[in-house]
A and B are shown apart, each in its own frame.
Chain A
Amino acid sequence: MPIRLSKIDDLTRPDHTFIEAADECLYLGEYTARKGYQFSDTNNLIFNLKKPMDRRGQPGWNYKRRAVEKAGRQLREALDALNPKWLSIATLVPMPPSKVKSDPMYDDRLMQMLQVLGTGLQLDIREIISQRESTEAAHSTEVRPRVDELCDNYVIEESLVDPAPRVIGVIDDVLTTGSHFKAAQRLLRSRFPAVNIYGIFVARRVPDSGDIINF
């Protein structure tokens, strides 16, 4: 039986500073690694998924590809189990990678994950949000950017806004403070005010679980 998606609620919302009661954020697992522990499936999955691009070609690089496939497959199964019709009407919007396309560290793992997720389906996947400039990856900075600053750095790709979506799923790998999701939600809402927006994550991160990746 596939794992059901969980949602952020009264019990877990305090872990994600920017998420509000009306936000609908769903996730498969929890990222809880600390002290370098890497025992659970989810912690391994996230660790491999986020492996930085400059590790390409080094031992263990193929784990990244496997993690992308596993995450895509699990999200597909979980979404189908929750509501078999949802994927056929939803528009899926990946969070923009922290580096722009010209940057050597540019990582399009979310697009790859969505391609796995959509295997055999005609999914509506649109990179509606892009970044003006590269930013430090959220997991490697001490100070996390606020929603306003993030929003200023996001642009709507005008060529991708038609037809208007019926329901949107903003896709990301890890829900941390929720600032990136809130920035994306604000931008999308300004363009599509009547459309329901879900945040869909591979995992939520439990605070104090240390740096997500510190090689």
Chain B
Amino acid sequence: MPTDYALESPGSLMRAVSPFREMGAYEALWSEVKASFKWMADKFREHPGAVPSDFVPDETAAEYAKKTVATLAGAGVAHFGIRVHGAGEYPMKLRVADHPVELLYFQGWWDLVESRGIAVVGTRTPSAQSVARTRRLVRSLVDDKLTVVSGLAKGIDTIAHLTAIEHGGRTIAVIGTPLSVRYPKENSELQEQVAKDFLVISQVPVVRYDRPNPTENRIFFPERNITMSALTEATIIVEAGETSGTLIQARHALKQKKKLFILESNFHNPSLKWPHRFEQMGAIRVRGYEDIQKHLADPPLQD
């Protein structure tokens, strides 16, 4: 529970946030059976101003912190940082999410998180036309000095990151695995490059992810899309199937009062209902890049 000021000696500043301890405490909280992003967010809603270490004994936090550092080091992640709600540099724009994360991990250049970012997302198995559209779109975003944000998945995500880099732009990867895991394997090098030259962000607990039941780790992918939307000004969907995880991001983008752009071609696919549904909910149909440009020029929505 939040510390009692009266117990503090007047000359002590002991309660300053220790990133190492907070990381360990967050990992320890995630080791509880009932842990989920909702459970975690509820806990902090009940105790405004609390940090993870307020709920975890110091020794337990230290033990988990060491385990986390060891796991990351073992995976070749020597230098990384964390952000914790309540301390400096935590991106307050995350608070628009349903269950905002209290702590996240990153590698690379944190400054980019405050640049104007646009999420470009879509299917893992795009058509040749969608690949070409993604390339053209990303080049335009880069020309407009916007940061291209995606999820490092196969397909559209990969094309989005690569095109941004090739075109001399900036990119951020919000991943659905811990920093210790490179997923998918074929993007291992890309993940490393983004971490070194740009920014990789993960909210996924390192120790919990290592537990023997890998299917439960699937919950982290949709949650990452909610965070990606919260971190960006708008989401653009290039191509997505009716059951695609991309649609989770679409729903939350609108819920978070962000702009949602859907490329016109999706509306012409007779097997898809989602483009029409989201258009009715406020999504913007994109026939040409000017449609995006025009709407992005509006002042960002205030929350």
A residues near B (Cβ < 8 Å) are 1, 3-7, 9-12, 24, 26-30, 32-34, 37-43, 79, 82-86, 88-90, 166-167, 196, 198, 203, 206, 209
Contacts and interface: CB of A to CB of B under 8 A. Distances in A.
B140 to A, nearest CB: 20
Nearest to A12: B19
A72 B15 CA distance: 20
Contacts of B86: 1, 3-4
B16 A6 contact: yes
A9 to B, nearest CB: 4
10 contacts: A1-B48, A1-B49, A4-B88, A11-B81, A37-B111, A37-B115, A40-B89, A83-B10, A83-B12, A83-B13
Contacts of B109: 32, 34, 37, 209
B13 A82 contact: yes
Kindly list the 9 A-B residue pairs having the minimum CB-CB distance in the complex, ordered from nearest: A85-B10, A29-B88, A39-B114, A167-B11, A7-B16, A11-B20, A40-B114, A9-B20, A39-B115
A67 to B, nearest CB: 15
Interface in B1-23: 5, 8, 10-13, 15-21, 23
Nearest to A1: B49
A32 B111 contact: yes
Given A30-B89, A90-B11, A6 B19 contact: yes
A30 B88 contact: yes
Contacts of A84: 5
Contacts of B87: 3-6
B113 interface: yes
B49 A6 contact: no
Given A11-B19, A12-B20, 6 more contacts: A1-B86, A3-B88, A12-B19, A85-B8, A166-B11, A198-B13
A86 B49 CA distance: 20
Contacts of A27: 88
B16 A11 contact: no
B149 to A, nearest CB: 13
Contact of A39 (B65, B69, B111): B111
A5 B110 contact: no
Contact of A86 (B10, B51, B82): B10
B112 A39 contact: yes
Contact of A28 (B65, B69, B88, B115): B88
Contacts of B12: 83, 86
A34 to B, nearest CB: 6
B89 A29 contact: yes
A90 B12 CA distance: 10
Most buried by A among B11, B19, B86: B11
A203 B48 CA distance: 25
